[in-house]
Amino acid sequence: MKLLITGGAGFIGSAVVRHVLQNTTHEVVNLDKLTYAGNLESIPENLMDSRYVFEQVDICDMAELKRIFEQHQPDAVMHLAAESHVDRSIDGPGDFIQTNIVGTYTLLEAARVYWQTLSDNKKTAFRFHHISTDEVYGDLPHPDEVAEGEALPLFTETTSYAPSSPYSASKASSDHLVRAWRRTYGLPTIVTNCSNNYGPYHFPEKLIPHMILNALAGKALPVYGDGSQIRDWLYVEDHARALVKVVCEGEVGETYNIGGHNEKRNLEVVHTLCDLLEELVPTKPEGVQSYRDLITFVKDRPGHDVRYAIDSSKIADELGWEPEETFVSGMRKTVEWYLSNQSWWQRVLSGDYQLNRIGDQG
């Protein structure tokens, strides 16, 4: 199978590319605009064999997308290209509307035109897999707000959409477009919605890498509000396995939620990182007695969702996928990766990213 992976130089996209090239015989066409968060160094050169092709293309460029489909003749699309930083979407929503909505529409149209030219067998086998987020569902009640003994609700595939930020609203819009293209035109689409990802090659504006790198530099670890917001954390390589399973085995027209079974408060995540660093990097920056001492609480952002939690029983029951990493094992692997790959993140930080930003906290 030849996979056209959009956003394949991004955090999750590059994990999918690495998984495909390391663990399958599929071919990959990696399509990425290479914005600030795209990094081809997230795909080791030893994996770039004859099965791999890179195309620097904007998903809003219809002419280039038509060329890509005609030239490469993919069997499936895995659409991961997106603007994904909530804080950036609040500061400037325009890029999110353009990439996440207009870009998805353009890609859908290019895929539809291509799909209609295929033979009956290839037309039936074709898949358009749209990768989305649990943030489209809005948020859930916090455990502190639920009566003792009452079950905590989870996001399911039938949860109503109620996005809170420009980012999540733009992703919700793209989800609706994908489903509309299936119902109206018959394009064989699948949608997945995932919880917060973490792991190797994560761009440093996100919570976990931001806190690791700030702590190593002896800088403040800024936590929104009181840090009680809850997220379900999914190790990115587990997510990549799930996505490839869905595009190969998932049912057309279905939605699959993908979660890590790891609900943690943001402050608990930061405490875990600090404790791992105490163990792994006991020699601290000058003036730092304890990594936890670097934690500072800052004004919460507008519309900050209280809790996300995924029910991923459907993908477990129907496709046999379960996460392999626990929160403990995944966090340790993540911290160890950043400690062992200083050259990667130092090159990233040498660009337009500023280390003193507040890490995106979901």
pLDDT digits (tens, 9 = 90+) for 128-137: 999 999 999 9
Tell which wins on pLDDT, 343 or 356: 343
All residues at 6 or more sequence positions from 300 whose CB lies less than 8 Å from its CB, including other chains: 224, 225
Is 80 exceeded by the pLDDT of residue 356? no
Mean pLDDT on 291-303: 92
Q: What percent of the chain has pLDDT over 90?
A: 87
Residues involved in catalysis: 134-135, 167
Average pLDDT, rounded, for the chain: 94
* 204 φ/ψ angles, rounded to the nearest 5 degrees: -70, 0
Mean pLDDT on 124-148: 93
Rounded distance between C-alpha atoms, residue 18 and residue 9, angstroms = 10
Is 90 exceeded by the pLDDT of residue 281? yes
Is 90 exceeded by the pLDDT of residue 302? no
Question: Which of these ranges, 13-22, 32-41, 350-359, has the smallest mean pLDDT?
Answer: 350-359
Burial class (CB in 10 A: 0-12, 13-18, 19+), 340: exposed
Is 60 exceeded by the pLDDT of residue 202? yes
Mean pLDDT on 38-63: 96
Rounded distance between C-alpha atoms, residue 228 and residue 265, angstroms = 5
Mean pLDDT on 78-104: 92
- Per-residue pLDDT of 206-259, as tens digits, reads 899 999 999 999 999 999 999 999 999 999 999 999 999 999 999 999 999 999
Q: What is the pLDDT of residue 151?
A: 87
Is 60 exceeded by the pLDDT of residue 19? yes
Read off the pLDDT band of 355 (50, 70, 90). Answer: very low
End-to-end CA distance of the chain: 34
Strands 230-235 and 263-265: antiparallel
Identify which of 201, 233, 208 has the alpha carbon closest to the alpha carbon of residue 323: 233
pTM of the complete model: 0.94
Q: What is the pLDDT of residue 193?
A: 98
Q: Which domains does the chain have, with CATH numbers?
A: 2-203+233-264+303-326 (3.40.50.720)
Residue 90, CA atoms < 13 Å, CB-side half-sphere = 11
Identify which of 202, 188, 142 has the alpha carbon closest to the alpha carbon of residue 11: 202
Is 90 exceeded by the pLDDT of residue 91? no
Question: Which of these ranges, 144-153, 317-326, 353-362, has the smallest mean pLDDT?
Answer: 353-362
**Contact yes or no for 189/183 (Cβ under 8 A):** no
Read off the pLDDT band of 301 (50, 70, 90). Answer: confident
